[in-house]
Structure 1
Amino acid sequence: MSSPEHQRGPVTLRRQQVPTSTTDQRLLDNKSGRADFIHTDTWRVLRIQSEFVEGFGALAELGPAVSVFGSARTPVGHPEYQRAEKLGRALVEAGFAVITGGGPGTMEAANKGASEAGGVSVGLGIELPFEQGLNRWVDVGVNFRYFFARKTMFVKYAEAFCVLPGGFGTLDELFEALTLVQTRKVTRFPVVLIGTEYWGGLVDWLRRSMLADGKISEQDLELIQLTDDIDEAVAAVSSAEALSAHQATGIDDAPVEA
């Protein structure tokens, strides 16, 4: 005799896993008055879906943009703050919107530079135990519960990443971008590290340890550009954006002049 079997959409349930009530019955039966269902994984899927919908809706018409990463702990007036502010301004002058994590420090500075230059200043916030809210220079702000939904927006709507000195969060965003480009999950775009004194040691370690041990290739290292010059960083972003636009036309394969 075959065991009981129950189909719940694409899921097959057998033996003790077969439910004793129907999905509709459990939906409509409110005798217990409990709201535990809003804390279940299936309910979280709807929250995750809503975050993607909100993010896509808010940014779909953003146009060319660059995601800027850096420390939330950078104090106002610090040279790194001033550099991020200059970067935000220069990116807008080059025709880009600026996307940050929406927090204080380096993120605030980049948003400030972009906003004061008359460009679109975007902040993608995240719910944290030490929530600080979006900085006052954000013109378009979206708050997320889930890191992975937020990270999708950073990548999907950016032509490039510009990475200033930062901590674990900045490293997380940097290496996720590099991994996506290396594995060709996204079209290649520039990843520019700004601050040779800060990032130089990391790049040296990648070369001496990871490359030397065969864990990455020379081609992988070429995904990273290291500079102290804001104009050079913006030029790298602009050249890549122009090349991408040219290739998208499909007119010919001639190289684009820098």
Structure 2
Amino acid sequence: MPATTSDREIETLAEFDEVVAARATLAGHRVQAVDLTTRTERLHRAEVEGAIFLGCPMDPQAAADVRARGALVFPPVPGLPFDPYRGRLYAPAELFEGLSSEGGYAATPDARAYEWFQRTKADGDVFASMLRAVHDDSVSDALDELLVGDRVVGVMGGHAMARGTEAYEGAARLGRTLARAGFSVATGGGPGAMEAANLGAYAAPFAGPMLDDALQLLAKSPSFTPSITDWADAAFAVRERWPGGGPSVGIPTWFYGHEPPNAFAEHIAKYFANATREDGLLARSNAGVIFLPGAAGTVQEIFDNATPNYYESRGEPTPMVLVDRAHWTERLPTWPLLQALARERSMEDRIALVDTVEEAGRAIERLG
């Protein structure tokens, strides 16, 4: 059987050593963001024709040698606050590194990547545009690898939902219910409803009042405004008090730079291109999407999800559950239009409007 792309990807030094020891060849492999500065001799001995090295630090002579023997080498790009060739999703501690320093959030890789994006996105530099595209494609590849075989439920909702509110608590309990039911919880990765659902998934393995206690601690810093540093500090304090929480996925974007990622998503797929991020989140929610109350962004996500369900362009329609009848029929009357679109289509039996988050979890199971 021919090797798949994932079989040929090498993303850690341990994988590199294993492949070279077992096969003595890197031919046809893609070595992705692995520091090879201590592997010069092994590179020299291995067959490398057709190998591709993506952002791998290595001795200059080693780089020249593998090029001469038929490898393609994309060297690391100096001075960037991110690695465009990364082989893994982000972790909260990585994006928020330096949060406790004097510079606070502004000193973190997350803030510095946003600053770079703001500086380069409108200057017409094709190289910067290419770096963003390569980074986002690398993130998509890592996200697909993470979610293989998972039943993923997307939870959408507004970033303005404050900690300490009933709505925030409900979203957290929803995330915990979904995680305990065996679903992988995926959100837009930001504050508000998104953070609450990721928090719920983080709380899933804990018995007792852990979630109630965590909600009380977080309520002391209700919003990421005016201080992202204080808001993020509170989240990391919860993680420190209750280490080893359950995994979930956050898929945020630097497009909304004022909106930081939340620290409760164990795996963070952060994108520069918001359109890629939004479509990717919905496309990967193969077990359905739950839409909590939100504003323009959440309305857009509802119809971004409805369109492929309507045309069945991704195959069989996936469940869509809207939570809070008054919100979606009176404040932002999205439900009547969704219902009209679904009428006499295969998606008609895959949509639901419910009043509570408890009903939402049951509806996902019922419609799936």
TM-score normalised to structure 1 length: 0.69
Cross-structure match for 1:169: 297
Residues 1:75 and 2:162 aligned together: yes
Gap regions ≥5 residues in structure 1: 1-34, 242-258
Task: Give the Cα separation in 1 of the matches to 2:171 and 2:256.
Answer: 26
CA RMSD of aligned residues (A): 2.7
Matched, 1:218 2:343: yes
2:145 matched residue in structure 1: 60
**What residue is the counterpart of 2:311 in the other structure?**
183
1:129-178 deviation per Cα after TM superposition (whole angstroms, max 9, x unaligned): 54332112121112111012212321232121100000111111111000
Cα pair 1:85 1:113 within 8 Å, conserved = yes
Bigger drift between 93-102 and 50-59 goes to 50-59
Corresponding residue for residue 156 of structure 1: 283
Cα deviations by residue, 1:90-110 (Å, 9 ceiling, x for unpaired): 100110111111111111111
Which of 322, 343, 346 is residue 193 of structure 1 equivalent to? 322
- Could you tell me how far 1:206 is from its partner in structure 2? 2.2
1:49 and 1:73, CA in 2 relative to 1: closer, same or farther beyond 3 A?
Answer: same
Q: Residues 46 and 113 (structure 1 numbering): CA distance in 2 closer, same or farther, change over 3 Å?
A: same
Letter in 2 for 1:169: G
* Match in the other structure for 1:106: 193
Give the secondary-structure state (helix, strand or coil) at the position aligned to 1:95. Answer: coil
**1:184-215, Cα deviation, whole Å (9 max, x unpaired):** 112310010011111123156428xx94xxxx
Structure with the bigger RCO (C-alpha within 8 Å, sep 6+) is: 1
Mapped partners of 2:299, 2:334: distance in 1: 12
Deviates further, 160-169 or 180-189: 180-189
Change in Cα spacing, 1:129 to 1:101, as seen in structure 2 (3 Å) is closer
Q: Which amino acid aligns with 1:164?
A: L
Change (3 A) 1:94 1:71: same
**Equivalent in 248, 256, 260 of residue 121 of structure 1:** 248
How many Å separate the matches in 1 of 2:177 and 2:311? Answer: 30
Contact 1:190 1:224 in 2 (8 A): yes
Identity of aligned residues (%): 29
Q: 1:51 aligns with which of 136, 146, 171?
A: 136
TM-score normalised to structure 2 length: 0.49
SS of the aligned residue for 2:252 comes to strand
SS of residue matched to 1:156: helix
SS, match of residue 309 in structure 2: helix
